[in-house]
Structure 1
Amino acid sequence: MHPSTLPNVGQPPATVGRRRLLLGVLPAAAALAGCGSSSADERSDQPPLALVYRGPQGCPDCAPTIADLLRKAPQPFRVTYVGPGTKVPLTADALADARLYVQPGGGSDLDGAWRDLRGSAKIMRDWVREGGSYLGLCFGAYLAGRNPGFDLLPGDTDGYIDLPDTTVHDQRDTVVPVKWRGKQRHMYFQDGPAFLLDKGADADVLATYPNGAAAVVVAPYGKGRVGVSGPHPEADRSWYEEAGLKNPDGVRPDLAHELIDRTVVRH
């Protein structure tokens, strides 16, 4: 079934609203002391900027969770929330200062979310084509596809639960096994997409579902890159606890860090 018709696509269960919200952005770097400092020096010393969409379609914790992970990554980012309801609209000017754009999970209405985003579709494609980096997680990965979506992938998306030989048959939150670069790992999953790549597509499939469908993909788009994941590599311990789930590998951020690292174009 198309995700636009399904409730709770790509978001944790209803109790997710009780999770701790991590709001706001990192403060600007403190001014440097001494006569040799300048505003240009301050800017060059700051971590790169990531824009995280936090429009009305997101679940309460999806954007804060990935924002927190980005701030604490081995190569950390400053984070600013963008989209309707924030102080920063998704525009070419906002993207011009960013290294990474993140479309998080969450949302139950793909068509409704697209109504808020379609005015930025060309802006997004142009920005990625010229060297930007798009990271889409679950619902955000659906939006990297087509009909509707930003059309950033060498192929399209479909719900994993709708594919032949799927190991997940409903929309309940669960833990799904994947083959990540040849090794079995487990990831938090809630009705995320699989990626139907064009034949011969220039794409790096980092992980596959048990039926062989692509679960995590990084692909070039012009001078930029697009990283997408059907499962939630960013899910923290609270997601598992509130859903009553256990990850056999333990709750570890290494897969999210690898996906981010492979997605971001370093300048």
Structure 2
Amino acid sequence: MTGPLAALLATIAIVAPPATQSQPLALIHRSEPLASKGDAEAAARMLRQSPFKFRIQYVGPDNPLTAELLSKAALFVQPGGEVDTETAKRDFAKEIPLVHKFVADGGRYLGICAGGFVAGKEGYDVFPGKVGSYVGSPDSEAEDDDDYAIPIVWRDGKKRTVDFQDGNYFKIPRGTPGVTVMATYTNGLIAAAVATKGRGKAAFIGPHFESAPDDAAEGSGTNLDLGFELLDVLMR
């Protein structure tokens, strides 16, 4: 085709927006007190604002987690809450086998604060190593379960001040393959990391990168960029 009509069609083809793919789905556990409403919603805000622009669906008592739901999801999130590693296998009895298979088959897991405590063998068993409480660890910047603004060392070597409340660390055996350490506490313990699990990946964050300024400890600032960088490593 030649002439004015061909030129017009060519112009339309150039300026037409490209087709967009649907946004990835993130399932966030929300079930008091194991996965608190406030922490679940803070995680949702971070995921929506991230470059991945996740769609969010909450799972819990009113919308139980199922294999069918997970088959449509890219990410499962266990947010902050009140968990006990000694009872986690019982508390998450319905979710553990589903999430474990989801990650092993290629899905992604993100555990934030309490969600990190149950990422290892005490719970979902998708993250390597042994979990521990940063509070009470040698030279810890946090003395108890109050909200603190504490320094961490990001993987670029720069210190950042983050919101922290009774979070965890992992001791990962030396030489464990597929581990990317994202941040350490100032005492050298791992504060955030991503690791492979089967065909999938899992991540934990001890502090709260997702906290909004009005909810965070005074002086901790905004750290969504750290969460976005970790998500990039986790999802790619």
Q: Please, what TM-score do these two structures have when normalized by structure 2?
A: 0.85
What is the Cα deviation at residue 115 of structure 1? 2.8
Letter in 2 for 1:65: A
In 2: Cα distance, 1:205 partner to 1:61 partner: 27
Is residue 162 from structure 1 mapped to residue 136 from structure 2 by the alignment? yes
Partner of 1:83: 60
Partner of 1:73: 50
Letter in 2 for 1:76: K
What is the Cα deviation at residue 119 of structure 1? 2.5
The partner residue of 1:132 within 107, 117, 141 is 107
Contact 1:161 1:168 in 2 (8 A): yes
Q: How does 1:220-231 map to 2 (within 5 A)?
A: 220-231=196-207
In 1: Cα distance, 2:224 partner to 2:118 partner: 23
Partner of 2:73: 98
In 1: Cα distance, 2:223 partner to 2:125 partner: 31
Aligned residue pairs, count: 215
3-state SS of the aligned residue for 1:233?
Answer: coil
In 1: Cα distance, 2:169 partner to 2:88 partner: 19
In 1: Cα distance, 2:57 partner to 2:188 partner: 36
Identity of aligned residues (%): 40
In 1: Cα distance, 2:105 partner to 2:35 partner: 27
Which structure would you say has the larger Rg? Answer: 2
Partner of 1:34: none
Which stretches of structure 1, 4 residues or more, deviate above 6 A after TM superposition?
none
Contact 2:35 2:82 in 1 (8 A): yes
Contact 1:143 1:150 in 2 (8 A): yes
Q: How does 1:189-228 map to 2 (within 5 A)?
A: 189-202=164-177, 203-228=179-204
The partner residue of 2:151 within 174, 177, 181 is 177
Contact 1:157 1:193 in 2 (8 A): yes
Partner of 2:219: 246
- Unpaired runs of at least 5, structure 1: 1-41
Is residue 263 from structure 1 mapped to residue 206 from structure 2 by the alignment? no
In 2: Cα distance, 1:246 partner to 1:162 partner: 22
Partner of 1:5: none
Q: Report which stretch shifted further, 137-146 or 165-174.
A: 165-174
- Unpaired runs of at least 5, structure 2: 1-18
What is the Cα deviation at residue 102 of structure 1? 0.5
Relative to structure 1, the CA distance from residue 109 to residue 157 in structure 2 (aligned partners, 3 Å threshold; closer, same or farther) is: closer
In 2: Cα distance, 1:128 partner to 1:108 partner: 21
Partner of 1:233: 209
Q: Please, what TM-score do these two structures have when normalized by structure 1?
A: 0.76
In 2: Cα distance, 1:235 partner to 1:120 partner: 25
Partner of 2:38: 61
Partner of 2:162: 187
Partner of 1:107: 82
3-state SS of the aligned residue for 1:93?
Answer: helix
Contact 2:88 2:123 in 1 (8 A): no
Contact 2:89 2:96 in 1 (8 A): no
